Amino acid sequence: MSEKKTSNTMWGGRFAAGPAAIMEAINASIGFDRKLYAEDIAGSIAHATMLADADIITADDRDKIVAGLKTIREEIESGKFAFSTRLEDIHMNVEARLAELIGPAAGRLHTARSRNDQVAVDFRLWVKNELLCVRAALTGLIEALLDRAEENASTIMPGFTHLQVAQPVTFGHHLLAYVEMFARDRSRVDDAVERMNECPLGAAALAGTPFPIDRFATAKALGFREPTRNSIDSVSDRDFALEFLALAAICATHLSRFAEEIVLWTTPQFGFARLSDAFSTGSSIMPQKKNPDAAELVRAKTGRVNGHLIGLLTVMKGLPLAYSKDMQEDKEAVFDAAETLDLMLAAMTGMVKDIVVDAAAMRKAAASGYSTATDLADWLVRELKIPFREAHHVTGRAVKLAEEKKLPLHRLALADLQAIHAGITGEVFSVLTVEASVKSRKSYGGAAPGEVRKQIKAWRKRLAKT
């Protein structure tokens, strides 16, 4: 594409000279908004088609415009298109090339629209498509978690609070906690798509247009539910970008929490799991090292996504209505956050499928730290009918005695327990193993293997419906 004309031609006769080099550098966005080429061309084709249907341009001009736009799309996708910073953005790059291809008919394409509503529709289309990609990636991650949860529905591991051993659970139950998190992320994607599924094309610069356009037709052609209802809000709104970044930041936080656990589990101190070489690296100096770098990088990239959210919130916080050039800063944040989140989701899905669990190490850890103490307290309440607070006190004394004797609870002598509370019988030992503890947690959403399998089955049904 030729660069013979400088960008002042689109501003009209008021600007006699081209912009200074520094103005060109700060003003141009083609370096990143070229990513919107497919959406820009789709929006222009829909707009041209509507203009012809409304008798605003001729069918012949429409056909030339549509053919030219398709040629430009082919040029871009084949790498033959020459992008120009002098033409500022993707919209003017496409329009200038269209003029070279089809002549004066290209000038009619911009009838009844502005770059303000043009960029708004392009960006919405891009974010909407990216949300659908994120949804698919989340579904894949959830399915991988369900597969591993089903394999480990009975694999006993310690449940933690304050990173201290609290009560026995199963690895399957633990993984289902992340299913819940990522399912909420998926529901936020659905909510965001529903809210942003309105088309701003036709709002023009900010006040609409006197031409008899059909905004419902362009909305339908571009896959939106309906057109936006206020022309000022149409061009000044970036809630859809903020909402994308917000849900991306929440999802990245969930991924980071999971990544942190993988880092912990794969240490020699925990020894709960290991990753293959596919998701690990070695040390340049310590030959024995195997580092969970994929998990560490997922954890680190969360800060990058969070930063983009704060950045765009800060850009938008002081803008009067309607459009301001500040809003050009929206795209790089969203593009980078999207690319980062896509990579994080792919890496985590891979690690979930790759990780190998050491069931023996998990079970041993689950039995440490007097993790069945609550089972003793529950037994006292259930069998001896004493108030829970009293049972808590009795159990505390039993734990203290076990610590003094350096024994697990289930190894204490019955006489020792009866010295603390005379009503305790030998039946108490049936609840003090980690297996018994886990099996007893049959409440809805609890850790019992049978309950875990019920939840897995229910989640598979939900996924099949959506």
Which member of 283, 324, 368, 430 is catalytic?
A: 283
CA–CA gap between residue 183 and residue 194 (Å, rounded): 17
Torsional sign, CA 157, 163, 166, 169 = negative
- Tell me if residue 174 is catalytic: no
Q: Residue 281 gets which letter from DSSP?
A: B
- Tell me if residue 283 is catalytic: yes
The SS3 assignment for 159 reads: strand
Residue with tokens 């959506």, as numbered in its chain: 466
Cis before residue 322, ω within 30 degrees of 0?
yes
Which member of 2, 162, 284, 443 is catalytic?
A: 162
CA–CA gap between residue 137 and residue 128 (Å, rounded): 14
CA atoms within 13 A on the CB side of 55: 0
Name the phi and psi angles at 271, rounded to 5. Answer: 65, 30
Question: What are the start-end ranges of the H helices in 103-114?
Answer: none
CA–CA gap between residue 30 and residue 370 (Å, rounded): 62
Is residue 166 classed exposed, middle or buried when 0-12, 13-18 and 19+ CB atoms within 10 A define those classes?
A: middle
CA atoms within 13 A on the CB side of 308: 28
Residues annotated as catalytic (active site), given as ranges:
162, 283
